[in-house]
Amino acid sequence: MRVDILSLFPQIAHSALSESILKRAQEKGLLEIHSHNLRDWATDKHRTTDDTPYGGGQGMVMKCEPFFAAVEQLRQPHSRVVLMSPAGKPLKQADAQAFSSLPHLILLCGHYEGVDQRVLDHLVDDEVSIGDYVLTNGALAAAVFVDAIARLIPGVLGDSQSALEDSHSHGLLEFPHYTRPVEFRGSRVPDILLSGNHGAIAQWRRQQAEAKTRAVRPDLLS
């Protein structure tokens, strides 16, 4: 998969996506991430990417022209253009799974009050929110989005880091994990996990996952 990220803060996404598992995925050629400065597609001498809103009001709006120029240069016939936006469709694990099979994503990151509506109307295939809260800019959101997708690309996670049992993969939150020591400050690892009985352990984990989901996210069970 290739990902092109267009933002005013390319270093934010680059830093977040250049460590650990995603760094190795890029070294293995499973993933290619390019974090661009949108100002590179501005045409005036001040490299302007925003302007005041028509109709008045506070803040600045990101202009159409740099987004159109950048997407028109980077877009391939198979590309999907995604706008990071708190007004977009909230990202779910199933969406991350679907995006992870695409060959090319172009991510548009807003700043200030957001982007000119004509970008959404004529360039964007998907408007994606990473949650019901508002960040200062889209570069952080793009990094979260890419991380969620990239770890689902076959080969990115090793077997020991399999995503199959992760929270949200089967409509449940994940069961609790323990590692050494068996006892820490009076708190013991549940005996079942030391029993070696794999069937009983699987059953216990399922029960724990259901109980946690019921307590914390009952909406997932309905």
Q: Which of residues 111-150 bind ligand SAM (CB under 6 A)?
A: 111, 113-115, 129-131, 133-138, 141
Residue 109's alpha-carbon distances to 54, 100, 165, in angstroms, are 21, 19, 31
Residues 6+ apart with CB under 8 A from 198: none
CA Rg value for the chain: 21
35 binds ligand SAM (CB under 6 A): no
The structure tokens 């991350």 sit at 96
Stretch that binds ligand SAM, among 50-58, 105-113, 146-154, 213-221 (CB under 6 A): 105-113
In the complex with ligand SAM, which residue's Cβ is closer, 111 or 172? 111
Stretch that binds ligand SAM, among 67-75, 78-86, 97-105, 207-215 (CB under 6 A): 78-86
Active site residue 113: yes
Q: Residue 59 is which amino acid? A: G
* β-pairing verdict for 32-37 and 126-129: unpaired
66 binds ligand SAM (CB under 6 A): no
Q: Cα 103–172–100 angle (5° rounding)?
A: 5
Which residue's CB comes closest to ligand SAM? 110
Q: Cα 144–24–153 angle (5° rounding)?
A: 60
Active site residue 47: no
- The nearest distance, CB 6 to ligand SAM, in angstroms, is 10
64 binds ligand SAM (CB under 6 A): no
Lookup: tokens for 2: 């290739």
Residues that bind ligand SAM (CB under 6 A): 84-87, 109-111, 113-115, 129-131, 133-138, 141
Could you give the residue numbers annotated as active site?
Answer: 86, 113, 151, 166
